[in-house]
Structure 1
C-alpha cells in the first residue's frame, strides 16, 4: 500500500480558502517536453488523472485558469475540454494576465492557488493564498512556495492539489457521492 503524506495544518487552512486554481502548462500540466511533428505541429501530453481532477473541480463549482507564456492550439483545446474559466496564452509577463484573471473571475489573490515550476510565475506566487511547486520546479520557485507536490508535473501533480483542496474545503465527499 502506498503511503501518502498529509499536508500541514497551515496548508489545509490556506487550501480551504481557495476558490480559483491557476495552472501553468509546460512543466505543470505537462511534463515539460514539447514534441514537434514533421510538419511543425506541436504535441503535448496531458495526464488523465489531472483531467479528472479538473472535472471534479468544475463539478463542485470552483473556478480554474491557465496562464502560459507559449501559444498552442493543443492548450486551447485542452482548456475547452476541461472547461477552464480563464485562458491566457502568449503571456511573457504573466502578472498582467493574473490581474486580468482576478477581475474576470471576481476573486482576490488570497483565494487563488497557483501551481508553478519556473521563474515566470514568481510575482504571482508571492501574492497568492496557496503557492504550489511541482518537484521538478527550479529551486527559486520551491523556496517561496507553501507546498511542493509529491507527484511531478504532467504526472498527476494537478490532481494531487485538487484533491487536497477539495478535502480541505469539505467537498471531497460530494465528489465521491457523485460516483456511488
Structure 2
C-alpha cells in the first residue's frame, strides 16, 4: 500500500527535545539543520503534518513549523493521536515519526513507524525504521530520504542519508 500522509511529532524529532526555561518560562527550542530542506522535497510527493503536545511551547513550535517552514502543525495530546490521525487518513496509509514512549501505540498501528537513534529501546522496538541520527540533528532529513526511497521508489535519493 502507498502512503497518503506523513506525520511528524515535533519535540525530540524536529528538536533535540530540550526546553530552555528562564524565570519568565519556556523561551527556546533547538531545531536542527537540513530537516526543512528535506521536508520540502518530501512535501512535493506526499502531504505532511506536524503534531505537538507541548502547550506551553506551542507558540515556538508554531513559529518554526507553520510560519517559517509553511507546514500544518496541530496541538494534539499523545493519547489523542491515533484518533486524530485516523480521521485524516487510514492508519495503514500513514507514516509517523515520533520519539517518546507515548508514541508507541501510534508507531505500532501506522504503515511505517519511524523513530530517532536516541529514543528509548522500547520505542525503537515499536518502529519499523530507526534513524542513525538523533532528534534535532538531521533525523527528520534522514527519515524523509528513507521514505522517498523505500515508500515512493525515488531512487535518486538513495545514499543521501
TM bucket normalised to smaller: 0.7 to 0.9
The equivalent of 2:69 in structure 1 is 82
Task: Show CA shifts across 1:61-100 (max 9, x none).
Answer: x1112222212211111221333235224x142xx23322
Q: How far 1:39 sits from its partner (Å)?
A: 2.9
User: Do structure 1's residue 39 and structure 2's residue 24 form an aligned pair?
Assistant: yes
Distance 2:23 2:73 in 1: 31
The equivalent of 1:144 in structure 2 is 126
Structure-1-length-normalised TM-score: 0.75
List gaps (5 residues or longer) in structure 1. 1-15, 176-180
Instruction: Tell me the SS of whatever aligns to 1:155.
Output: coil
The equivalent of 1:170 in structure 2 is 153
Q: Which aligned pairs between 1:62-101 and structure 2 lie closer than 5 A?
A: 62-71=46-55, 72-80=58-66, 81-89=68-76, 91-93=77-79, 96-101=80-85
Q: How many residues align?
A: 153
Distance 1:86 1:76 in 2: 7
Instruction: Tell me the SS of whatever aligns to 2:103.
Output: helix
Task: Show CA shifts across 1:123-152 (max 9, x none).
Answer: 111101111121110111111211110111
Instruction: Tell me the SS of whatever aligns to 1:65.
Output: strand
Instruction: Tell me the SS of whatever aligns to 2:96.
Output: strand
Conserved? CA contact 2:8–2:50, under 8 Å:
yes
Structure-2-length-normalised TM-score: 0.83
Decide which structure has the larger Cα Rg and report it: 1
Conserved? CA contact 1:163–1:172, under 8 Å:
no
Cα RMSD between the aligned structures? 2.1
Point out the more displaced range, 75-84 or 134-143.
Answer: 75-84
